Structure 1
Amino acid sequence: MSNYIPNTFINSFSLLGDHLRHPDTELKEIIETEKLYNAWFTPESVSASVAAIAEHLSHANLSKWTASYNLNANHAPKHIGLILAGNIPLVGFHDIMCVLLSGNHALIKASSQDTRLIKYILNKLVSIDARFSNRFTFVEKLQNFDAVIATGSDNSSRYFEYYFGKVPHIIRKNRNSLAVLTGHETAEQLHALGHDIFDYYGLGCRNVSKLMVPQGFNFTPFFEAIESYQPIINHHKYNNNYDYNKSVYLVNSDKHLDNGFLLVKEDTRLSSPLAVLFFEYYDSLASAEKTINMNSEKIQCVVSGGALKVNAQVVDFGKSQRPGLADYADGIDTMKFLADL
């Protein structure tokens, strides 16, 4: 049986948060050099991800989050297979933390795009609390697991269902986020929306890939408000995507707007190519809500300045890439899933 005591584990994660708020030399080196292993993981993106995690790792935040779950009983740790995504830095950390705080053992199949950061943080956790040394294992292939949490594409999800369908599982597919605008947003709100669009170069499922706007919407204030994000075009991979998509639209005579670093195109699809933002007109907020609800299984969150009657998480401008501890991916309560095993 385990000697799992939630409060002491919370203390350890809280100390980890203190460390991430004051990076040591090793972490600073990883932040600066991660771009050599993954060009999308620039120092700015990695620092933002580390800071976002550190913000939540306080004793108060962790205690409040875990209080509603039955995590007090001693139990033999179950082995939870984790297939992590690697689209943005440390995107799999929350799943690992859930497994560890629920008193279980994490079998981690890390993404080749994001291994150094995850390993560094878990090694730091072990240096803070040696009990975690036998609570996780990095693996190349999942086997001998009691449950699985797998994150991937719509394609890979079919394989995950086939291989892991006989055990308790959470399997996540492609999702996108969108913003609902009314035309009455302030310049500050529209500027904050730029974070939802451009943070992590738009690679996350919580990044806004589409706008829903009223008929006759004027895009000029939007473009003016996001002008300060122009330096994103200096990233060579982002620039390559911008140039490619712009060429396609010009060759095909596809109507679009272009401010020099973002292409904006009317399209009913949710998922836009990198460096492209789709938009769709709505007749009324009620019709926009209906469209969102019809596609709720493909939507991660909705950015809006007001209340919406939708079956999706609604967040304020600038907050889509700053989820709270209880803002679970795909709306599935990971901690409850683990606590109920």
Structure 2
Amino acid sequence: MRLKLQERIELLLRLGEYMGGNAAEWEAVKSKAYVVNNWFTREFTDLAVENIRTAFLQPAALLGLAGRYNLPEEQPHPKKVGLVLAGNIPLVGFHDVLCTFLSGHDAWIKPSSKDEALLLHLVGKITEWRPEAAPSLEVRERLNGAEAFIATGSNNTSRYFEHYFARFPHIIRKNRTSVAVLDGTESAGELEKLADDICQYFGLGCRNVTALRVPKDYDFVPLLRALDKYSELKHHNKFRNNYDYNLAVHILNNKFYMSNDVVLLVEHESPFAPISQVHYQFYEDRATAVAELEGRSDIQCLVGRGLLPFGEAQMPAADTYADGVDTLQFLSSL
């Protein structure tokens, strides 16, 4: 017997309560996630978990999605949906799993090896509580037989996805990043929130700000001071190795840079920056700069006044969809 919509919602709400608790096995899994992938520090794992709990796994959010998409109480023609998940930040693929499960289709989950521990544990808790949910949440090494696909990867892997999944309904996600547009009058509080957008998850997420657009004669000193909020990152071995490498490259190439010993600010046209580095470019007219960025397909978020508020880049709502592609609309159309 398949679970009805209300039963699926109740399970997701129970999962949210579990994620907010400190059960010994949950604490152990979060510790294991760090051992497997040192980028998943306890601080950032807890941050990801809390954002998921408060934004996705709440009655208003789940009922709102169910009502907006007119999700059926019981899916009359459930499809097997292959989910190829990313692993750059903790539980980054959770939203795809949630949407597929909520829609009533069967999620065939292929997690990233970088983010297996957390996701597999949470899926396992749902099927432990309700064994009937097992067909709807299946972890698989191979996705042969799936009838639709949602796959997240790099620009390179996306070409393979497009080839392999061409004859199936699909969503293919590529590399994206985020940009902040500043006007030079931001308060210390706003810049501190921008530091969150830049440094949370070590800057590894597509919603992390990796580039800035600033006016001519912009004073970078207040921003560098705000970035001191994350001075502890320099004690993280992997992050520090990246910083030292990038710093050495700039010194050897006699390249101008600015730094607070944690983040390097470098003038560069690309919105994509290596770990520990943020690119900036000057603009003549802010509105023109915003319009140019809005026209790009590789920008996930635009942060700034009149745009996504500072400090909210890593706080997507339940109906905020990666790459701007409506996942639940796609699933509802299958």
Superposition TM-score, scaled by structure 2 size = 0.96
- Counterpart residue number, 2:28: 29
d(CA) in 2 for partners of 1:219, 1:143? 52
Alignment of 1:14-93 (within 5 A): 14-55=13-54, 56-72=56-72, 74-93=75-94
d(CA) in 1 for partners of 2:126, 2:284? 52
Gaps of 5+ in 2: none
d(CA) in 2 for partners of 1:23, 1:66? 29
- Counterpart residue number, 1:310: none
d(CA) in 2 for partners of 1:98, 1:89? 18
- Counterpart residue number, 1:239: 240
- Counterpart residue number, 2:319: 326
1:78 is displaced (CA, Å) by 0.4
d(CA) in 1 for partners of 2:121, 2:147? 26
1:4 is displaced (CA, Å) by 4.7
d(CA) in 2 for partners of 1:335, 1:303? 25
d(CA) in 2 for partners of 1:288, 1:62? 36
Equivalent position amino acid for 1:15 in 2: R
1:226 is displaced (CA, Å) by 2.1
Contact 2:75 2:103 in 1 (8 A): no
Q: Which runs of 4+ in 1 moved over 3 A?
A: none
SS at match of 1:97: helix
CA RMSD, 1 decimal: 1.2
1:196 aligns with 2:189: no
Cα-to-partner distance string for 1:289-323 (whole Å, 9 max, x where unaligned)? 2320332x0001111122xxxxxxx4211110111
1:27 is displaced (CA, Å) by 0.7
d(CA) in 2 for partners of 1:118, 1:28? 14
Contact 2:197 2:312 in 1 (8 A): yes
- Counterpart residue number, 1:309: none
Contact 2:184 2:219 in 1 (8 A): yes
Alignment of 1:259-274 (within 5 A): 259-274=260-275
d(CA) in 2 for partners of 1:305, 1:230? 26
Contact 2:181 2:302 in 1 (8 A): yes
d(CA) in 2 for partners of 1:228, 1:96? 33
Identity of aligned residues (%): 39
Gaps of 5+ in 1: 307-313
d(CA) in 2 for partners of 1:232, 1:242? 10
Contact 1:176 1:206 in 2 (8 A): yes
d(CA) in 1 for partners of 2:173, 2:226? 34
2:308 to 292, 311, 315: 315
d(CA) in 2 for partners of 1:11, 1:141? 29
1:118 is displaced (CA, Å) by 0.6
Q: How many residues align structurally?
A: 332
Contact 1:33 1:43 in 2 (8 A): no
SS at match of 1:182: coil
1:33 is displaced (CA, Å) by 3.1
d(CA) in 1 for partners of 2:302, 2:44? 22
d(CA) in 2 for partners of 1:18, 1:113? 25
SS at match of 2:233: helix
Cα-to-partner distance string for 1:64-116 (whole Å, 9 max, x where unaligned)? 12211031154131000010000011111110111111101111111111111
